[in-house]
Structure 1
Amino acid sequence: MTGLEGELPLIKQYRDWIQKSPSENDPDRDRFFTDGVVVLDTNVLLSLYEYTPTARQQVLDALQNVQSQLWLPHQVGLEFVQNRHRVITGRKKALEEGRRILQNKLRDAKTAVKEARSHTQRMLMKYAQDVQASNELDTQISNQAIEELFSDWSTALGNQISKLSDYDITISPGGEGDDVLSQVAALFGDQISDPPHPEKTRQRVEEASRYRFPNLIPPGFMDSGKDTALASSGDFLLWEETIAHMAASTERSHLLFVSNDTKEDWYQPKGEGRDSARPWPALANELRLRTGAELRMETPGDFFRGINRFLHVEITEATYAEIDRAAVNPVEAVITEQDAVSTQPPSGLVAAALDAAGLEESLLSDMDDAAHRLLLLWWLIGATAQLKRRPCLDDEPDVLVVPATRSTAQPDPSWVPGIRLHLGEWPYRSSSWIAPWFAQAVNNASRRDRKVLQTLAAQQLAIETTDRMPDQ
């Protein structure tokens, strides 16, 4: 819709709802790239860890062209530094476990071929009594032929998996060696927000939880079920920071917000004559009412194509493909032992894991060590999911916490030999090492809960041991 200045008051006042969905060909789109404040959501920055080195450098070079317009809200910066280890760990885990997962899948495929052969032979004998055809299948699709065929494929796939180690990102526990962090810090310079006063944060969290979220006012109401009110309010805190910044930026009248997040608390679903989702009109209307600025929201793919179009920055199709892939395939959250001791799991996830395992919450009250209690909780969450005792919840993290291992060498000085567990209840007493937190949980538990814990750990250890065995 054009000529809004001359429109009737009703048309002008509700233009955000009346206008069509934003398009890449909107006549004033270029202003957001050449003269607007550019805010990158946390997921855009974390995606830098997912790109190949070449694509990452192209993306960072492209961002240099809007460097003077970039601004980093405190909420984005906080989420970025807090979550980067999770992303790096998830990437490292995927690369390290690639060969094991490959061998498991190939083993499953070989088993499926043999089962298909046997099924066909049973059908031939049951309905045709065709012994000759059944025997021919043993010759045509012999176990040796299957092994030889899969051996070639295993070598070819394994060689490609091995090459992926070149793309690993390794940093020290203290964060040294994280080139992505250094480059992001240099990119923003001093164009970052100071932390809001704690009282201001409290007020914003209360506004979100008591007024906006119950009334489904964007952004962020889809996160209202998170474990705490503060955790649920991240998107709203980002939004409020951005509004305050735009209100103080008298020289900037356009805001370009870039994010992978297209959930219904940022985007209005299609319908009412629209064939696609669009950013909620209420967001643009609120920004204009409170700051006088215009809002445009874009996904990373559209944003970088816009940089190419309006600022004439060279970005290859391969890099666009990586940007789009990262937008639809975000890195899975991962909880390591280091993360577990300082991360309280969501209460809903704890309840689901305890119920799936058949354990009572009273088990936890017997553990005085808070770190041990958290390790037990995260292990139960991961084990019940791995053993398919329960369905995984949306956005559930992958858990890398194990209670026991089978090895000749002691994995850590604090781990104890398997003989510390109860005779007749733990099948690996002479060939395992037990994590101290698990030993404490087992020895403090009732007889019933003790057996449940050891059975769950033994089943998980059996899977891990099988996965480490060479293919037969």
Structure 2
Amino acid sequence: MAEGFRYHQGRPSDDEVVAGIQSGVVAFDANVLLNFYEADPKTRRKRVELLGMLGDSLFIPFQVKEEFHRRRKESARSVSKEYAALRTAVAELKKVGAAFGRVNKATSKSRDPVSVSKARNVITECIHDLLGQIENLEREDPHIVDLAEDPVLAGLVSVFEGHVAEIPSARKIAKRVREFVEIRVPLGIPPGFRDVTKGDEAQAAGDYLIWSELIGCAKSRQVDLVFVTDDLKSDWWVEGSRENPTAAHPSLIAEFGRETAGRRYFQVTANEFFARAVRALGDPPVDRTSIDMSNTDPYEGEFEDGPTSPGLIASVLDDSLYMEISRSEPPF
């Protein structure tokens, strides 16, 4: 009787997370992978190596792949945009310098032209020097990523081969989107109900599409799962601040356990994961044979009507509403 009233809450211990990394499946959110673009090359390489050490326990939901590629170029240009913002600010300073000492026609007051000229020259030299320093900083900044080569994408492709989920059928995606819009959002069921205003219905349901794939993977493999995400909204976390979330939302833990016959769900931020991954993984495994998922769908038949409301979805969106993804596309 007491077990039925128990509320799932509290953060797992370090030992529990380490055990989950060692024996379960580890999946990553798109935001974690996109943040690699803002990491310095040394940190980036180390993190990619750790991902590779996960071996067969690594899992990338198809929806994560889609979101990563949709936002990849924007993330790669984020640091360059900061330098562009600096140059824009300097351009405004040029206008201020050009206006220095301008004659006030309304009062006919004037300034000594020699002193005004000197001041303007000093301002111009400072601006020129500042622009030069900004240019040098940008040229030498190790965080700048050349999209023509894109070392982030190259590194991820090298370790994700064979670990990216097959695209779910359009019918299955449509059922999940409809359940998200018609059932989960009105009832405030996590995850993703905070994203209801984000883009179209399919885009708003992105978190729930990922969640469905996570449950499907754990259910198919009969393992615990560690999900690494830097999405700190309250439809993923509870009890802590945005900067230091305390625990996964209890509803997520309960639903995961219910749909996977009691398997455990661990949720950590990227910094938490990489801090524990060194302890959990140790030296790279000798055998890193990948599971070939290119011709199989391990989630076929899993909770056809959605994980929380079987039978409630009476209709699906037409397949034509969804992008047709070529089966011959790169694995990530």
TM-score clears 0.5: yes
**Counterpart residue number, 2:248:** 279
**Counterpart residue number, 1:54:** 42
**Counterpart residue number, 1:459:** none
Equivalent position to 2:59, from 71, 82, 87: 71
Contact kept? 1:95, 1:165, Cα under 8 Å = no
- Mapped to 2, the partners of 1:281 and 1:97 lie a distance apart of 38
- Mapped to 1, the partners of 2:87 and 2:74 lie a distance apart of 26
Are positions 1:168 and 2:145 aligned together?
Answer: yes
Q: Closer, same or farther in 2 for the Cα pair 1:229/1:308, shift >3 Å?
A: same
Are positions 1:84 and 2:97 aligned together?
Answer: no
Two-structure CA RMSD over aligned residues (Å): 3.7
Q: Closer, same or farther in 2 for the Cα pair 1:307/1:148, shift >3 Å?
A: same
Contact kept? 1:53, 1:167, Cα under 8 Å = no
Equivalent position to 1:14, from 6, 13, 16: 6
CA offsets per residue over residues 55-107 of structure 1, 9 Å max, x none? 3211111212222211121211222334334444x35xx63894x65444224
**Counterpart residue number, 2:27:** 39
- Mapped to 2, the partners of 1:43 and 1:289 lie a distance apart of 27
User: Where does 1:119-138 land on structure 2 (aligned, <5 Å)?
Assistant: 138=115
Q: Closer, same or farther in 2 for the Cα pair 1:152/1:49, shift >3 Å?
A: closer
Give SS of 1:304's match.
helix
Q: Closer, same or farther in 2 for the Cα pair 1:286/1:159, shift >3 Å?
A: same
Give SS of 2:227's match.
strand
CA offsets per residue over residues 166-197 of structure 1, 9 Å max, x none? 943233xxxxx555434323313323322222
**Counterpart residue number, 1:5:** none
Offset at 1:144?
A: 2.4
**Counterpart residue number, 1:419:** none
- Mapped to 1, the partners of 2:36 and 2:198 lie a distance apart of 26
Q: Closer, same or farther in 2 for the Cα pair 1:109/1:269, shift >3 Å?
A: farther
The residue type equivalent to 2:63 in the other structure is Q
Offset at 1:216?
A: 0.7
Offset at 1:265?
A: 1.7
- Mapped to 1, the partners of 2:204 and 2:86 lie a distance apart of 37
**Counterpart residue number, 1:306:** 276
- Mapped to 2, the partners of 1:180 and 1:166 lie a distance apart of 11
Are positions 1:109 and 2:93 aligned together?
Answer: yes
Structure 1 residue runs of 5 or longer lacking an equivalent are 1-8, 123-130, 172-176, 315-472
Contact kept? 2:237, 2:246, Cα under 8 Å = yes
User: Where does 1:139-218 land on structure 2 (aligned, <5 Å)?
Assistant: 142-164=119-141, 167-171=144-148, 177-218=149-190
**Larger Cα-atom Rg:** 1
CA offsets per residue over residues 280-338 of structure 1, 9 Å max, x none? 11101111111111111111111111113433579xxxxxxxxxxxxxxxxxxxxxxxx
Structure 2 residue runs of 5 or longer lacking an equivalent are 105-109, 285-332
Task: Work out the number of aligned pairs and report it.
Answer: 277
User: Where does 1:63-462 land on structure 2 (aligned, <5 Å)?
Assistant: 63-88=51-76, 90-91=77-78, 95=80, 98=83, 101-109=85-93, 111-112=95-96, 138=115, 142-164=119-141, 167-171=144-148, 177-250=149-222, 252=223, 254-268=224-238, 270=240, 278-291=247-260, 292-312=262-282
Length-normalised TM-score, structure 2: 0.70
Length-normalised TM-score, structure 1: 0.51
The residue type equivalent to 1:146 in the other structure is I
Percentage of matched positions with identical amino acids: 25
- Mapped to 1, the partners of 2:91 and 2:220 lie a distance apart of 62
The residue type equivalent to 2:257 in the other structure is R
Give the helix-richer structure, 1 or 2.
1
The residue type equivalent to 1:109 in the other structure is L
The residue type equivalent to 2:181 in the other structure is S
- Mapped to 1, the partners of 2:203 and 2:81 lie a distance apart of 31
Offset at 1:118?
A: 6.5
